[in-house]
Structure 1
Amino acid sequence: MGATKAYRIALLFNANKTFDREVLGGIADYLGSTRVAWEVFLEEDFCLRLAGIGNWQGDGIIADFDDPDVAAALADCQLPVVAVGGSYAAEDQYPPNVPYVATDNFQLVKQAREHLIDVGLQRFAMFSLPEAPENRWAQEREHAFRRLMWNDRSEAEVFRGCATAPCSWDEALQGQVEWLRSLPKPIGIIAVTDARARQLLQACSMAGIAVPGEVALVGIDNDPLVRLLTPIPLTSVMHGAREMGRTAAHLLSQKLHRVRVANAPVLVPPAGIKVLASSLHQPAGHPLVMRACYYIRQHACESLKSHQVAMYLGVSRSSLEAYFRQELGCSVHDVVLRYKLEAAKAGLDSGERSIAEVALGCGFGSTQYMHLVFKRELGCTPRAYRDREFEAPQLLSANG
């Protein structure tokens, strides 16, 4: 029996982006779970380069068509090509005669907005990107947001800001601060990417705007690097990018075996939403409670005590506890613990620090105490949470 033919496949992705990395992971999943034999070409530094792609002496290509240069370079390609990218409301925006696997932009935004509704918010806005050919996916997310707001007969507040660069960084942040201050509060904001959400978190900090008390924020991407750089653990909608990679690899495999493949786009829904502190808005009518929660969020991991919060606000501890019980149905200590747990979960998720380092960095004082708190509040140990040996329940709510 002859050996199975090994097809030579080029993967045109920029693996510096979380989305592209996840798509590549899905392709790897497909290769690992099937008998297909592919020799994969991918730049050694995982960057995307098109020089010489027209002379590629291979059998097929899977490529990120969100990049207009990639779509243009492959427009006349004679090899089997499968495109991956964002979805479009208008069918004529998809490339002709190419199977296309798309992340469902409408569903990404819809899931983010539904989460903000679930936490009790009634006003919504979107932080987008300047209009550009390479940002068409961002404009599609804007369109989705406007459509959802129009369906509710509500005005769609969208802010694009300016592109960020070292020379324009101060200007960009100042514009974000001015926009944030102009918005009615409380409000839920959907950022078109986690990177955009991270900028807004910085702008909120500069402006003294409480997150999530006044602004509840949701990003899109679930980018682990961004999570490490955010001052507050960021809620994010997760692409179904891994499933997209598996689907794209399957379609290309069919084309290589001369199976007829429809060129209609295949829409892949989001994989879910990772809920962390940035969106956990708790309606609080008393301004003292909002100020207290803002202060707690900033200092919870510094072994903050209830009497220190009361001292900062200039009220007695008993009065502050009474306000918390009335407005949130829980104690000041419960809210401090909630933020410490959120920070610890984010630290364990990142995998960058040991459990002992996370415990000390999040104000637990010792690994043993964090172990006790995790068991009591989450029903698992920190190690089990980090290794995902259980299905994590919802973190204790502000209702006790």
Structure 2
Amino acid sequence: MVSKPSSYQVALFLKARGDYGREIIAGVCDYVRSTRSVWDLLLHEDFRDSVDGISEWSGHGIIADFDDPDFESTLSDLNIPVIGVGGSYQRESDYPRNVPYVATDNEKLVTEAYTHLVDMGLPRFAFYGSPEAHRYRWAVEREKVYLKLCARDLTKPEIFRGKGTFGPDWDEILSDVIAWLRELPKPIGIIAVTDSRARHILQACILADIAVPEEVSIVGIDDDPLLRMLTRIPISSVRQGTRKMGQIAASMLHRRLKGAILDEPRIIIPPAGLNPQISSRYQPIYDPYVMRARHYIRQFAGQGIKVAQVAAYVGVSRTTLETHFRRAFGWTVHDDMLAFRLQLAREMLEEGERSLERIAELSGFTSNQYMHAVFKRELGCSPREYQRQQVIR
């Protein structure tokens, strides 16, 4: 006789509004699908309002965000199994007590972003953090890592925490960021504590006419695809190992539900890699006309702009701008735009989510046929052949 699968009611106290929480939840679901157990998953996104009366809840287990110390203390003494997820800490005393814990490695996240900027040839570095220190301890930890790296390399730290992200204050938030950016020495690489804060930097640079990445190079943390879609210039970002965090947290809870004692009550998950985008591809350029032109090209090349529009933005004649580009690179403004459009198309082909017609439109080519001709001339293959090559690799 086949035994009936075990059934559990599990509460997830996790925020699904950002990529961090969504990917942890996805990892939990990955694990549940891999077992014969039946899990009734209850999602509490606004968990600070849901925790009252949790001690009387009749469920079997909880996976919860422990980055908020108040919430951590509320759940740590329950009589049902609880698995905490959150950030790693430099001090042992900051970790939850008596609760199994799965953490994203804050030290490695910031170090990977910092190392990338070093590899790009940046001479100095800054950090854009968060003012909400009590409820978001991971932000404080990431700032500590940045300070430690600056001390190691004997570089002057530049830190700005700014304001929290509230819609009515958006203009004031960007105004403060612009003021900070203008005071920074250039060129500089900036590590943002999240992709959302990285977007602040990028929008402030666009408004202040600060060239990205020639003057300010930006790296965020989360690699959130939705936020990347909201920016004119794609932002480089470090991927957290959040899906793996969810899988491991669910596995730990499952073992606790079956009465097992965990051999590893704390597991630290390293980053899943860095996704390099245009925002951090620093090239030392000292010609202000070229920097302004490329800043404009990166924002609008996908919209099919012409060389004359670039020259008008810079405030010089087309002939003058062409002279500056040839002096700096040995090629024309049109060549530079074409190379950028080709790069955009290649990245979208690698993602594999859009039709060729849509990719041609979004990357600024006038037609699929023109994009095909450029791929053949520059890369020796068609767009579809290029896409197949990436799958094989």
Q: Do both share a fold (TM > 0.5)?
A: yes
Partner of 2:362: 361
Q: CA deviation at 1:118?
A: 1.4
Partner of 1:287: 288
For the 8 Å contact 1:105–1:141, the answer to whether it is kept is yes
Partner of 1:53: 54
Give the whole-Å Cα distance in 2 for the aligned partners of 1:41 and 1:94. Answer: 26
Partner of 1:206: 207
The gaps in structure 2 that reach 5 residues or longer are: none
Task: Single out whichever of 264-273 and 286-295 deviates more from structure 2.
Answer: 286-295
Task: Single out whichever of 117-126 and 304-313 deviates more from structure 2.
Answer: 304-313
Give the whole-Å Cα distance in 2 for the aligned partners of 1:71 and 1:263. Answer: 19
Task: Single out whichever of 341-350 and 62-71 deviates more from structure 2.
Answer: 341-350
Partner of 1:396: none
Give the whole-Å Cα distance in 2 for the aligned partners of 1:229 and 1:126. Answer: 22
Amino acid at match of 2:36: R
Q: What are the equivalent positions in structure 2 for 1:183-332 lying under 5 Å apart?
A: 183-262=184-263, 264-306=265-307, 309-310=310-311, 312-315=314-317, 317=319, 320-321=321-322, 323-328=324-329, 330-332=331-333
Give the whole-Å Cα distance in 2 for the aligned partners of 1:280 and 1:180. Answer: 19
CA pair 382-219 structure 1, distance change in 2 beyond 3 A: farther
Amino acid at match of 2:77: D
Give the whole-Å Cα distance in 2 for the aligned partners of 1:374 and 1:390. Answer: 18
For the 8 Å contact 1:98–1:263, the answer to whether it is kept is no
Amino acid at match of 1:34: T
CA pair 86-316 structure 1, distance change in 2 beyond 3 A: same
Partner of 1:169: 170
For the 8 Å contact 1:282–1:328, the answer to whether it is kept is no
Give the whole-Å Cα distance in 1 for the aligned partners of 2:80 and 2:14. Answer: 17
Q: Alignment partner for residue 383 of structure 2, among 370, 381, 384?
A: 381
Task: Single out whichever of 177-186 and 31-40 deviates more from structure 2.
Answer: 31-40
Give the whole-Å Cα distance in 2 for the aligned partners of 1:299 and 1:8. Answer: 50
Q: How many residues align?
A: 388
Give the whole-Å Cα distance in 1 for the aligned partners of 2:308 and 2:198. Answer: 33
Amino acid at match of 1:50: V
The gaps in structure 1 that reach 5 residues or longer are: 392-400
- Could you give the per-residue CA deviations for residues 141-195 of structure 1, whole angstroms, max 9, x where no partner exists? 1001001111001111110011232332222111101000000111111111111
- Could you give the per-residue CA deviations for residues 235-293 of structure 1, whole angstroms, max 9, x where no partner exists? 11100001111111111122222222146531111101111111111111323322221
- RMSD of aligned C-alpha atoms? 2.8
Residue 96 of structure 2 corresponds to residue 95 of structure 1? yes
CA pair 349-86 structure 1, distance change in 2 beyond 3 A: farther
Partner of 2:9: 8
Aligned-partner SS, 1:389: helix
Q: CA deviation at 1:349?
A: 8.2
For the 8 Å contact 2:113–2:219, the answer to whether it is kept is yes
Partner of 1:395: none
- Could you give the per-residue CA deviations for residues 8-56 of structure 1, whole angstroms, max 9, x where no partner exists? 222211111210110111111222233344232225xx55433442222
Partner of 1:139: 140
Identity %: 47
Give the whole-Å Cα distance in 2 for the aligned partners of 1:52 and 1:387. Answer: 56
Task: Single out whichever of 363-372 and 248-257 deviates more from structure 2.
Answer: 363-372
Q: CA deviation at 1:135?
A: 1.6
CA pair 369-52 structure 1, distance change in 2 beyond 3 A: farther
Give the whole-Å Cα distance in 1 for the aligned partners of 2:281 and 2:384. Answer: 22
* TM-score, reference length from structure 1: 0.87
CA pair 266-135 structure 1, distance change in 2 beyond 3 A: same
CA pair 74-372 structure 1, distance change in 2 beyond 3 A: farther
Task: Single out whichever of 130-139 and 17-26 deviates more from structure 2.
Answer: 130-139
Partner of 1:112: 113
Q: CA deviation at 1:60?
A: 1.4
Aligned-partner SS, 1:10: strand
For the 8 Å contact 1:176–1:203, the answer to whether it is kept is yes
Aligned-partner SS, 2:58: coil
Aligned-partner SS, 2:207: helix
For the 8 Å contact 1:100–1:263, the answer to whether it is kept is no
For the 8 Å contact 1:348–1:386, the answer to whether it is kept is no
Give the whole-Å Cα distance in 2 for the aligned partners of 1:378 and 1:174. Answer: 47
CA pair 169-351 structure 1, distance change in 2 beyond 3 A: farther
CA pair 236-254 structure 1, distance change in 2 beyond 3 A: same
